[in-house]
Amino acid sequence: MSITAVSTPNIAFIKYWGNRNDSLRLPAADSLSMTLNSPHVEITVDHADTLTVRSFEADGSEKTLKEKDIMRFARHLELTKEYLKKLASSAQTPTSELTNVTITVRSQIPSSIGLASSAAVFGCLAKAYAGLVAASAETSASPLTDEQISVIARLGSGSAARSIYGGYSALRAGDGDAMDSSSAVQVADENHWLLHDIILVPTQEEKKVGSTEGHELAWSSSYYKKRLEEIPRRQKECWDAILAKDFEKLQHVVEEDCWDMHNVMQTSTPPLKYLNDATYRITDAIEELRETEHLPVLYTMDAGPTVHLFCTEEAVKAVREFAAEQKDCTIFETKTGKGAILLP
Ligand code: DP6
């Protein structure tokens, strides 16, 4: 019996950077994001004798997975089994076992747009595992809750915990070393507030250190401690701004947090310089545009030079025009979306 789930990436307004426990991806601080409505990843899982992972690109061609990628899926499966055992022993959920599986990943995320696919992949895989467990469990057993599914997603990629929900969601850091001590909750669903994300990808890609390695360097920056002290206030301001649909308040806190994360990255040992000249040129131009046109638009950048321009419906036309004028950039457009779902 195979189970298929679909999920999309999310983009953080308050960024997750650094863990208190790297191997369990227990974050050092809270984060908050918007789930996108595209591009999506589809994953099919089924019980099997041994773990097999196959991955297909948007054009249908099969990707050759590196040993490191397969190890990540294997480790994630082991952690998921451990978590399910823990839930079963505390009688919180189905007693059904997850054995070995075949995993087939079909990704519509173009590798050229600088969108990290790991959030969508592990959000999707967690949803699919939950579906597989529910389908094989005793009928009396209650299915996994979204919060429990977010824990499974987080064990594969920290930010994936937030892709379980539609709209806006928060990953709460929690404390301690229990594998379920950090989980995600929904802040507001996808019908609450429609925001567009116009993504500008500068074409001259720079050499990148992946986020998994990056998180481990966070503590080496002398600014990291201060960042951790500031996050609770920012998280609350961001949460409040979303509930109140206060774009100006959102803009201030999102940009403050983005620069702060990049400051930590750039001052770590070794320094991580993800932004390039095009990034700075675009963010300067947006600040200028905001000044002259009073447009509700904000920018944020993750672990790469790609700029996400978030705006309301009223500003989308002007922001699209701005994006089209930027030289040497690939443009991708998306907006607020639903969380991970199971396909019938
Ligand atoms: C800068 O969730 O990609 O995008 O757990 O190693 O997969 P892993 O890290 P990941 O880190 C996300 C970093 C970020 C900020 C964010 O999305 O919150």
Q: pLDDT exceeding 70 applies to what percent of the chain?
A: 96
Q: How confident is the model at residue 38 (pLDDT cuts 50, 70, 90)?
A: very high
- The response to whether residue 303 sits with its C-beta less than 6 Å from ligand 1 reads yes
How remote is the CA of residue 302 from the centroid of ligand 1, in Å?
A: 8
Q: How confident is the model at residue 145 (pLDDT cuts 50, 70, 90)?
A: very high
**What residue's CA is closest to ligand 1, atom 3?**
211
Q: Which of 211, 216, 261 most suits a substitution to test ligand 1, by most atoms within 8 Å of the C-beta?
A: 211
How remote is the CA of residue 301 from the centroid of ligand 1, in Å?
A: 12
Q: Which of 235, 302, 306, 307 most suits a substitution to test ligand 1, by most atoms within 8 Å of the C-beta?
A: 302
- Global pTM reads 0.96
User: Tens digits of per-residue pLDDT, 161-214?
Assistant: 999 999 999 999 999 999 999 999 999 999 999 999 999 999 766 557 889 999
How remote is the CA of residue 210 from the centroid of ligand 1, in Å?
A: 9
User: Tens digits of per-residue pLDDT, 208-236?
Assistant: 788 999 999 999 999 999 999 999 999 99
Can you give the pLDDT at residue 245? 98
* Contact between residue 246 and residue 296 where contact means Cβ atoms under 8 Å apart: no
How remote is the CA of residue 293 from the centroid of ligand 1, in Å?
A: 33
pLDDT over 60 at 320, yes or no: yes
Q: Which atom of ligand 1 is nearest to the CA of 118?
A: 7
Q: Which atom of ligand 1 is nearest to the CA of 116?
A: 3
Q: Which atom of ligand 1 is nearest to the CA of 159?
A: 2
- The response to whether residue 36 sits with its C-beta less than 6 Å from ligand 1 reads no
**What residue's CA is closest to ligand 1, atom 8?**
157
User: Tens digits of per-residue pLDDT, 244-298?
Assistant: 999 999 999 999 999 999 999 999 999 999 999 999 999 999 999 999 999 999 9
- The response to whether residue 283 sits with its C-beta less than 6 Å from ligand 1 reads no
Q: Which of 98 and 313 is assigned the larger pLDDT?
A: 313
